Chain A
């Protein structure tokens, strides 16, 4: 099934530090930056929502026509945002949790400066593999 999904990691000061188009839908009309517009606009909601709950997985926080934004609040307010078609939470939650572990590994690297962009191809490959697995 063709699906649309755009995954972004946003650092504490709202700067995206990793972005990936992980959907399998042909990208004809939905462009990367349009997804980013949606994700960026959703940050407004996330900001408010993150303080109201202890849960890391904030579920779907915003929708733009038929696309839903799900958010996972990771360490030090690093946010994972996923733009996707409406679907069940379970796969998304598992995806987030596994990416969270990957991110923690990056984060624990003493040479990694928190807030800098993640360009590791290893990370990228893993994230895409997880996306294929869960999304």
Chain B
């Protein structure tokens, strides 16, 4: 855009001229240019310069017959109207110049005449300005009239400027401005109308003039700021111009086309600017599209195609720049739905980057065209040579030759051939590459910032190709690499192919054999759509150096790599340049994300998941290549993280290779190691597992053609990714191993287990433990083949029901109370491991660590674990022995472990119950107070100073016989004062043996000595032991308030036939399997079969009632003989005993 002349780029501004009074010019012109719309001022200091205004008008002889125009537009026409043809001229006179001296008056009149004659024949308006010092300096009426007459102007166009007074000055100045504006408008309107009339009347001799007139009318409209009209005539001009292409014969065809395009460019530029400045972005873009469409195919002859492309590219560039400069005014109200009926534009068309990118693309076309033209031109134009002193003519888009003959300089038209060679020589001087790269870069950055990575990479590729063409291979390679990344990721293989082709050539040119090999291999391994690009072989330039993507080309590329490796001279001799850069062997590293994965993939699977150290294990190594031709592998080296396991497979065809005896690799000969395309090559080997721990296959190194080593990272079949590019609908998925299970779950690493421990740990237990006793679990360590060094025994007690801890968390906070407690560990010989002071020994409630002395093979050692149960609970006892085989450092690292566990139940040994036997009740009736107390069944009343029997039962709940040593009641302080307790029957001969589920009864007599509503009798103490082993005291806290065995209540209902004595309601306690007799004395009132009073018995605990049947309660009363009848009724048995 900067190449365009300024007058074209700027909106036309009205031009006025002021003559005379030069001291006022700066302020007047400043005032005019600050006006809206502004006016430019052509300031002439005195009237002698007025002839400037007349000069241009004299050029044409009005009498000469109209000639055919030599061109469409004159270059300087616009400039002329902007700078030299004023719309109005103001003649400035000082008041004293016209009012005083007659000589001065005459001078003024002649000046005015000169000026008038200068603008004669034009429509330029005249204004006369009188400058006064003061507003009060009133000029005489006749002077002004005379002056006006002289100037032949309207009185409105006679203006008085007042110099001194500020307000007057500005007022008169604004008046001048208004007059100027009005005159300018009239002038341009008139000029426009004049020319428009010619168009309308078709009053022109040639189509060139028609276009010229359109241009002029439009420009005049622009002067008036009549944009719609300007647009209309510009568009009309373009239309006529487009039609002219086929019809005009004025110039030779090439130059004609050049001229037309140059004019079209100006028209188009004007239209675009107008539309964009009016904010009509959409219209502007649509117009641009139309413009491009109408000139796209007007290439001209092939020799000058470059001119077309240069011009075409410039259209895009300029439009892009226009869009960019008006970017701020792009309306946001545009429909976001691109490509629909209401918005036919695409999103990118609003972005300057889009146009830059296209400009670059077409500029590249120009470069190609120049290359073609140059080669042709070199042959043909050498003789004629390039014409000298060619210069642009006065017409837009025309060139002429300056011809000097002596002093006279004449202008000669050019022939097409001359012009072509001139244009070619001019075009060749420019470095288009840099221009193209700059454009692409601009577009790239813009797209990148818009987040359009694909567009950006397309631009990036454009840059790269330019760099490549310009011979800057390192830059090209860098850019191509970036672009290839995207295509790889998205799998556009055809594009990737082309890219890699360039990259390959770049590395060849840069002498990077390693890159060359890797790019070539990647290309060779690319999947291709069958048939695509088959028919495009002829265009080598456009398909890039990689050639067209075909299977045969892939095979060629693979062969080329092999040739390079073999240092063989290729038939076309292109490979010799690597000779100095080639290393002895080329190493390629392929990991899981490398694009070369397609070239070679190694999948390694162990057949087992874990293995014992030193034992043999099977491993499957599978290789897959997508290269089109079979690959012969000379040597395959499989490497593990434990280097002892590495092994090498040699191909049998290979001459026996020199073996490095230092390597402890296992060397295997295989018959043939050839990889066929898309087929897994599977090898299964047996190797010896190394040390315990992880054994992982790291990589598989394949040596191909002796000089290429491809190191593939090993992949597990289970976690192997497929090849996104090689996924074909009809492509049968092949598995790396024959075994399906292995193919889906095989891993490249294996766990080598610890060696088996050859030490036995024995835990013995004598059944279940009893609460209260110290339970002993003997643990024996028996070495059966390993010496035990720095052994350590860990003991852990865990709740068998789960939960781990042996107490609830709340209890743990309070501590102290543990259900099961590890008391200690003692060795068999009784000494407490005193000799090992430094050994670890730590016992905590449920956890203990004890160190084990060094044991040699065959020795044994045992200890006893002392555990005490506080509550009946089932507990898991875990004992683990950790030891190392020796005392040296590396041996100490490897620790072996033996684990044993044992579940031990905790049981309550004796269940203690008790009961009281009281003497018979003496009173026939009970006090109601006692009866109510009887409701509280936790208490029981004893008669004072009477001997009450107290029976304590101890029942053995275990499976082992227990020995009871003593059973006593230990009264507390309260009890001692209040009552005396005596043992009635004791334990004879030292102890009593209680067999499982048997019971022992101790009988005591209790004699209360004071009356008290509430007192403790004392605690029952049992001293017991296992029948065979020693036990310890067990205390049971017994409180007399405990529940009584069984309570019944009974009630008697009165009968009309009997009178009876005794309580109606009463309660009694009945021991199980015992009888309780209730006696009542009855006196019958009548004879015969009589109903006895009904008795109802209720068990308090179970609320169960018993009523004897009517027949059982019926008695026959004889009339007189027996005096009275004593009946014993109701033998109650215990109703329901659980």
Expressed in whole angstroms, the minimum distance between the Cβ of A90 and any Cβ of chain B is 12
Q: Check B498 against A60 for contact (C-beta < 8 Å).
A: no
Q: How far is the CB of A9 from chain B (nearest CB, A)?
A: 11
**A41 in complex: contacting residue of B455, B498, B725, CB < 8 Å:** B455
Q: What separation, in Å, do the CA atoms of A90 and B340 have in the docked complex?
A: 13
Asked if B346 is an interface residue, CB under 8 A from chain A, the answer is: yes
- Interface size of A as a range: 35 or more
* Contact between A44 and B452, CB atoms less than 8 A apart: yes
Using Cβ atoms and an 8 Å threshold, which residues of chain A touch B529? 19, 117
In the complex with contacts A28-B539, A37-B458, A16-B339 CB distance below 8 A: no
Is A32 close to B, CB under 8 A? yes
A15 close to B292 (CB less than 8 A): no
- Asked if A15 meets B490 with Cβ closer than 8 Å, knowing A61-B346, A117-B729, the reply is yes
B492 CB contacts on chain A under 8 angstroms? 15-16, 36, 40
The answer to whether A120 touches B727 (Cβ under 8 A) is: no
Which of B344, B346, B536, B725 interacts with A62 by CB under 8 Å? B346
Inter-chain contact B458/A40, CB cutoff 8 Å? yes
* Contact between B725 and A43, CB atoms less than 8 A apart: no
Q: Please, how many angstroms separate the alpha-carbon atoms of A13 and B491 in the complex?
A: 9
In the complex formed, the residue of A with least CB distance to B450 is A44
Q: How many B residues have CB within 8 A of the partner chain?
A: 52
Q: Are A31 and B349 in contact (CB under 8 A)?
A: no
The digit string for A36-56, where 1 denotes a CB below 8 A from any CB of B, is 110011111100110011000
Q: Which B274-304 residues sit within 8 Å CB-CB of chain A? A: 292-293, 296
Contact A119 B458 (CB under 8 A): no
Evaluate whether A31 and B536 lie within 8 angstroms (CB atoms) in the complex, with A36-B495, A40-B458, A63-B346 already known: yes
Assembled-state Cα–Cα distance A112/B340 (Å): 35
Give per-residue flags for A55-85: 1 if the beta carbon is below 8 A from chain B beta carbons, else 0.
Answer: 0001111111110001000000000000000
- Is the C-beta of B919 less than 8 angstroms from some C-beta in chain A? no
Within 8 A of B (CB), among A7-22: 13-16, 19, 21
Cβ 8 A contact of B495, one of A29, A37, A118: A37
Q: Are B535 and A27 in contact (CB-based, < 8 A)?
A: yes
Given A19-B529, A61-B338, the answer on whether A45 and B729 have CB atoms closer than 8 Å is no
Q: Does B337 contact A (CB under 8 A)?
A: yes
Cα A58 to Cα B292 in complex, Å, equals: 25
Whether A58 pairs with B494 at a CB distance below 8 angstroms is no
Residues of B within 8 Å of A41, CB to CB, are 452, 454-455, 457-458
Asked if B729 and A116 sit within 8 Å, CB to CB, the answer is: yes
User: A34 near B542 (CB under 8 angstroms)?
Assistant: yes
Contact with A along B1031-1055 (1 / 0, CB 8 A): 0000000000000000000000000
Q: Is the Cβ of A62 less than 8 Å from the Cβ of B348?
A: yes
For B57-86 the 0/1 string (1 means CB < 8 A from A) is 000000000000000000000000000000
Q: Name the A residues within 8 Å of B536 (CB-CB).
A: 27, 31-32
Nearest neighbor of B497 in chain A, beta-carbon distance: A33
Chain A neighbourhood of B461, CB < 8 A? 37
- B458, B492, B493, B725: most-surrounded residue (chain A CB, <10 A): B492
Decide if A113 is an interface residue (CB 8 Å cutoff).
yes
- How many angstroms from the CA of A56 to the CA of B1104 in the assembled complex? 83
Do A14 and B730 have beta carbons less than 8 Å apart?
no
Q: Flag if A15 contacts B725 (CB, 8 Å).
A: yes
Q: Is the interface of A mostly helix, strand, loop or mixed?
A: mixed
For residue B348, which residues in chain A have a CB less than 8 angstroms away from its CB?
A: 45, 62
Is A130 in the interface zone, CB < 8 Å from B?
no
The smallest C-beta distance from B732 to any residue of chain A, in angstroms, reads 10
A14 adjacent to B490 (CB under 8 Å) = yes
A43–B727 alpha-carbon span in the complex (Å): 21
Q: Are A58 and B490 in contact (CB under 8 A)?
A: no
State whether A58 touches B339 (Cβ < 8 A). Answer: yes
**Cα distance A70–B338 when bound, in Å?**
11
Whether A33 contacts B494 by the Cβ 8 Å rule is yes
User: How close is B452's CB to chain A, nearest CB, in angstroms?
Assistant: 4
Which residues on the A side are within 8 Å of B527 (C-beta)? 117
Contacts of B498 in A (CB 8 A): 33
Task: Evaluate contact between B494 and A120: CB separation under 8 angstroms.
Answer: no
Q: Does B41 contact A (CB under 8 A)?
A: no
For B542, list chain A residues within 8 Å (CB). 29, 31, 34
Q: Tell me, rounded to whole Å, the shortest Cβ–Cβ distance linking B453 to chain A.
A: 7
CB distance from A91 to the nearest CB of B (A): 16
Contact string against A for B residues 442-471, beta-carbon threshold 8 Å, 1 for contact and 0 otherwise: 000001000111110110010000000000
- Report the nearest B residue to A61, measured CB to CB: B339
Q: Which residues of B contact A29 (CB under 8 A)?
A: 539, 542
Q: How far is the CB of A125 from chain B (nearest CB, A)?
A: 13
A32 contacts across to B, CB distance below 8 A = 494, 532-533, 536
Quick one: given A41-B454, A65-B296, are A53 and B727 in contact (CB under 8 Å)? Answer: no
Q: C-beta contact mask, B724-767 vs A, less than 8 Å → 1, else 0?
A: 11011111000000000000000000000000000000000000
Task: Please name all residues of chain B whose beta carbon is closer than 8 Å to the beta carbon of A16 when the two chains form the complex.
Answer: 491-493
Q: Which residues of A contact B497 (CB under 8 A)?
A: 33
Q: Do B728 and A19 touch across chains, with their CB atoms under 8 A apart?
A: no
Any A CB within 8 A of the CB of B596: no
Indicate if the CB atoms of A36 and B730 lie closer than 8 Å. no
Name the A residues within 8 Å of B491 (CB-CB). Answer: 13-16
Q: A34-B542, A40-B458, A66-B296 are in contact. Are A52 and B337 (CB under 8 A)?
A: yes
A24 to B231, CA, bound (A): 40
Docked complex Cα distance between A64 and B535 (Å): 23
Q: Which residues of A contact B26 (CB under 8 A)?
A: none
Chain B residues with CB under 8 Å of A44's CB are: 447, 451-455
User: Which residues in chain B, 142-177, are within 8 Å of chain A measured between CB atoms?
Assistant: none
A49 proximity list for chain B (CB < 8 A): 338, 347
CB <8 Å contact, B490 and A106: no
B543 at the interface (CB under 8 A from A): yes
A32-B533, A33-B494, A52-B337 are contacts. A116–B453 as well, Cβ < 8 Å? no
User: In the bound complex, do residue B730 and residue A120 qualify as a contact, i.e. CB atoms below 8 Å apart?
Assistant: yes
Q: A120's contact among B296, B340, B729, by CB below 8 Å, is which? A: B729
Would A116 and B731 be within 8 Å (CB), given that A31-B542, A32-B533, A43-B454 are in contact? yes
A34-B542, A58-B339 are contacts. A115–B495 as well, Cβ < 8 Å? no
Closest 9 CB pairs of A and B: A15-B491, A116-B727, A44-B452, A14-B490, A60-B339, A59-B339, A41-B458, A117-B728, A44-B454
Can you list 14 contacts pairing A with B, beta carbon distance less than 8 Å?
A13-B491, A14-B489, A15-B490, A27-B535, A36-B492, A41-B454, A44-B452, A60-B344, A61-B338, A61-B347, A65-B361, A113-B727, A117-B527, A117-B729
Known pairs A40-B487, A62-B346. 12 more at Cβ < 8 A? A15-B725, A32-B536, A37-B458, A37-B461, A37-B495, A40-B495, A41-B457, A59-B339, A65-B361, A66-B292, A116-B727, A118-B729
